[in-house]
Chains A and B, each alone.
Chain A
Amino acid sequence: MNFDYNEEQQLLADSVRRFMQKDYAFEARRKIVDSAEGHSEKVWGTFAEMGLTGIPFSPDYGGFGGGAVDLMSVMEAFGEGLVVEPYLATLLGARCVARAGSDAQKKAILPQVVEGKLKMAFAFSEKGARYDLAHVAAAAKKSGGGWTLEGEKVVVLGAPSAAKIVASAKSPAGLSLFLVDTKAVKMKPYRTLDEMRAADVMLSGSAAELLGAEGKALPVIEAVVDFATALVCAEAVGAMKFACDTTLEYLKTRKQFGVPIGTFQALQHRMVDMVVAYEQAKSMACLACSKVDGVADARERAHAVSAAKIKIADNARLISQEAIQLHGGMGMSEELKVSHSFRRLTMIAQQFGDADHHLERFASA
């Protein structure tokens, strides 16, 4: 039993935090969010230099061969800083390649991802599917030596900046994964509430490469989405930490009736409940990250990940709402970072399955 990060993980987390403090403060972030691309290539380059884009990939492709636990400290730091770069989106696209791709595909894709030259996205969601990963209407047809895709994927995070997308589609043999060049698709890009970039992706005769065994994609998709879920749990923990820290600071400095409002017991107890909720959420993020790639049994993995997401979704709501309430009117303002953490936490609660979805999955796992 050991809940500490190891030395490497801690060093990585420290250097990420130092970078965030120096170059990713709230004002810097605002400029990035308002830029045309909605992310910073310079920041992305730094992530690659720091080795962040290589953490979960095999050393065969220049990566560090790490797992979700190694990513956890990075995701926590990203959550604290409300990073908008398409880091998770890229990891997920590349994770599909790493899990299902042929050697040639891995060689073609993964080193580029590790070096920060290739951004990716994972298009697994469709209209009307809610969180059902098997609900896929997009269709794949054989065409010459390759495939073409027809259909629409929605809310594909990171798609606008991605050069390659991994998309799920139904082929004659069943649910399959395909690698698609974004030049071959049409996109309707948008900002998400939490200031990231996403797009609805139109596949109309888009040329694609089969990724992995035809008709056998569901277990891969489930594993990758569980991996993503564990990572957003860790990211949520970081955002919760920020929300708790900044609220506590506000309680100590904001004065009303001649005293800091943190002297009022009605507010103290709510603050305590936020901190307790943070600790409980952190515990579950530890569980999810330690089970998501260390456990061979899909059921055990699903059980742990869904349990974690239930707690994260519930506590993200509690903490984000309370942080705003304790800030009073100021909490509503776009000018304070706390309102942006509210937006991120609110979206995390809805991503990769909300609490209801995971309650159902937890009960059947």
Chain B
Amino acid sequence: MDLNYSQEELAFRDQVGGWLKANLPADLRDKIASYEELTREDLLRWHGLLAKQGWVAPSWPKEWGGTGWSVVQRYIFEEECGYAGTPPLIPFGLSMCGPVLLRFGSDEQKKKFLPRIYNGEDFWCQGYSEPGSGSDLASLKTKAARNGDHYVVNGQKTWTTLGHYADWIFCLVRTDPGAAKRQEGISFLLIDMKSPGITVRPLILMDGGHEVNEVFFDDVKVPLGNLVHKEGEGWTVAKYLLGHERMNTGRIGASKRELAKLKEFAAKQKKGGKSLLEDPRFRDRLSRLEVELMALEITNLRFLDRMRRTGQPPGADVSMLKIKGTEIQQGLTELMMQAVGPLAQPFKTVNGDAGFDEFTAAIAPRYCNFRKTTIYAGSNEIQRNIIAKMTLGL
């Protein structure tokens, strides 16, 4: 048993870490460190830098720009990005639509979309959830009716992350309302966000931030050529996408960074003349969280090791990483708020003359925002259902 990376893997980690340190623009790094919202340009600038380096889509086949890295290298890369505090790579194109096109897309679709995804020329968003279809995705109602050389799409998508930045949306739509089973009659469509009939309405979350939207489709014309895979086979595509392996589900690197930040911040907070880190009540909560994170990192490495040896996809292991990873992320935001104490309260200035520290004011909203993590990407209860079914056979 050896818990350590090999010499080659350590060298790779140093190479990635060194490159990130040298190439992460200072203004982006600072924005992330102070929990500021990132603009479309911020996200695309980072995407562009990684694309130029050839690291933007590691899991893609080499002919389309993939790196040929092992699963361990991909994990190291993603966790190093998290640890360095880089802007996120928006997954909708690179990790979702891209892999779907690689697996199910026509040659024409691949040629048209993949290079643009790779280079960040198209900003993608995801059209899955609807007002009545959250965890029960197969109940979706947005309709696409065939009419000559195009579909006519009517309906509504919701929780569309960064839909207000997007050029394209991939959607699950119902093409056959009469299908015997709900999962049948669903198709996977690529829709240009500039199409007439699309309206994007912001959904402001409780932290005051704008990251999600409602997207309305009112007689939107979509060329038949934008259908991916066969008509009525969209559920197969959706399932493939859910099972598509991502290496950073546990977000170990980002949580390690937050933990270090939390310790640094808590050390500066005083309670009864002493650092909050010396307060046993606070310290125990912090230690338990740190230990949970240590355990998750090793659990993640164990899963990677198994994947590498068996060549099997991670399956329901990913659900475990999602559950624990998000609980840890939330735990960190909670302790950060605990650390800031009464100064968690100031939120927004009313006359431009902020009498409070911007960073401390960002802590409570971040706590609010992170409640999303156990809900999105398959709520943690859905993840438990998956483990119960796939791993435990219940």
Question: Scoring B residues 1 to 35 as 1 if CB is less than 8 Å from chain A, else 0, what string do you get?
Answer: 11111100100000000000000000000000000
Tell me, yes or no, whether B391 is within 8 Å of chain A by CB: yes
Is A1 a contact of B387 with CB atoms below 8 Å? Answer: no
Tell me, yes or no, whether A262 is within 8 Å of chain B by CB: yes
Tell me, yes or no, whether B72 is within 8 Å of chain A by CB: yes
Q: With A1-B9, A279-B299, A280-B324 as given contacts, are A269 and B381 in contact (CB-CB < 8 Å)? A: yes
- A273 CA to B1 CA, complexed, in Å: 26
Contacts of B385 in A (CB 8 A): 265, 268-269
- A9 CA to B385 CA, complexed, in Å: 35
Is B305 a contact of A311 with CB atoms below 8 Å? Answer: no
Cβ distance B132 to chain A, nearest Cβ, rounded Å: 21
- A310 CA to B288 CA, complexed, in Å: 7
- A107 CA to B384 CA, complexed, in Å: 55
- A33 CA to B11 CA, complexed, in Å: 54
Cβ distance A247 to chain B, nearest Cβ, rounded Å: 10
Is B288 a contact of A284 with CB atoms below 8 Å? Answer: no
Task: From B5, B9, B292, give the contact of A311 (CB < 8 A).
Answer: B292
- A280 CA to B317 CA, complexed, in Å: 12
Question: Scoring A residues 271 to 311 as 1 if CB is less than 8 Å from chain B, else 0, what string do you get?
Answer: 11101100111111011011000000000000000010011
- A276 CA to B320 CA, complexed, in Å: 7
Task: From B283, B287, B297, B388, give the contact of A310 (CB < 8 A).
Answer: B287
Contacts of B309 in A (CB 8 A): 4
Contacts of B391 in A (CB 8 A): 275
Cβ distance A265 to chain B, nearest Cβ, rounded Å: 7
Is B298 a contact of A363 with CB atoms below 8 Å? Answer: no
Q: With A2-B305, A3-B302, A359-B284 as given contacts, are A284 and B291 in contact (CB-CB < 8 Å)? A: yes
Is A363 a contact of B305 with CB atoms below 8 Å? Answer: no
Contacts of B297 in A (CB 8 A): 283
Task: From A5, A252, A286, A307, give the contact of B291 (CB < 8 A).
Answer: A307
Contacts of A265 in B (CB 8 A): 385, 388
Query: Which residues from 249 to 300 on chain B have a C-beta closer than 8 Å to any C-beta of chain A?
Result: 280, 283-284, 287-288, 290-292, 294-299
Is A69 a contact of B393 with CB atoms below 8 Å? Answer: no
Q: With A4-B1, A314-B288 as given contacts, are A287 and B298 in contact (CB-CB < 8 Å)? A: yes
Is B292 a contact of A279 with CB atoms below 8 Å? Answer: no
- A108 CA to B262 CA, complexed, in Å: 54
Contacts of A271 in B (CB 8 A): 388, 392, 394
Contacts of A282 in B (CB 8 A): 299, 302
- A251 CA to B392 CA, complexed, in Å: 10
Contacts of B222 in A (CB 8 A): none
- A27 CA to B292 CA, complexed, in Å: 37
Is B288 a contact of A359 with CB atoms below 8 Å? Answer: yes
Tell me, yes or no, whether B301 is within 8 Å of chain A by CB: yes
Is A275 a contact of B3 with CB atoms below 8 Å? Answer: no
Contacts of B295 in A (CB 8 A): 280-281, 283-284, 311
- For B1, the closest partner residue in chain A by CB is A69
Cβ distance A109 to chain B, nearest Cβ, rounded Å: 29
Contacts of A21 in B (CB 8 A): none
Question: Scoring B residues 300 to 325 as 1 if CB is less than 8 Å from chain A, else 0, what string do you get?
Answer: 01101110010000000000100110
Contacts of B323 in A (CB 8 A): 276
Query: Which residues from 115 to 150 on chain B have a C-beta closer than 8 Å to any C-beta of chain A?
Result: none
Q: With A269-B381, A280-B295, A280-B299 as given contacts, are A286 and B3 in contact (CB-CB < 8 Å)? A: yes
Contacts of B294 in A (CB 8 A): 284, 287, 307
Is A279 a contact of B320 with CB atoms below 8 Å? Answer: yes
Q: With A4-B309, A280-B295, A314-B288 as given contacts, are A268 and B3 in contact (CB-CB < 8 Å)? A: no
Cβ distance A312 to chain B, nearest Cβ, rounded Å: 10
Contacts of A286 in B (CB 8 A): 1, 3, 298, 302
Is A268 a contact of B384 with CB atoms below 8 Å? Answer: yes
Interface residues of B (CB under 8 A from A): 1-6, 9, 72, 280, 283-284, 287-288, 290-292, 294-299, 301-302, 304-306, 309, 320, 323-324, 381, 384-385, 387-388, 391-394
A-B contact pairs, 30 of them (CB 8 A): A1-B2, A1-B4, A3-B302, A5-B1, A6-B1, A9-B1, A72-B1, A251-B394, A262-B394, A263-B394, A265-B385, A268-B388, A268-B392, A269-B385, A280-B296, A280-B324, A282-B302, A283-B295, A283-B298, A283-B299, A284-B291, A286-B1, A286-B298, A290-B3, A310-B288, A310-B291, A311-B291, A362-B290, A362-B291, A363-B284
Beyond contacts A2-B305, A279-B302, A363-B283: 7 other A-B pairs, Cβ-Cβ < 8 A, are A3-B301, A3-B306, A276-B387, A283-B298, A286-B3, A286-B302, A311-B295
Interchain residue pairs A-B with the least CB separation, the first 8? A283-B298, A268-B388, A280-B295, A272-B384, A262-B394, A283-B299, A269-B384, A272-B387
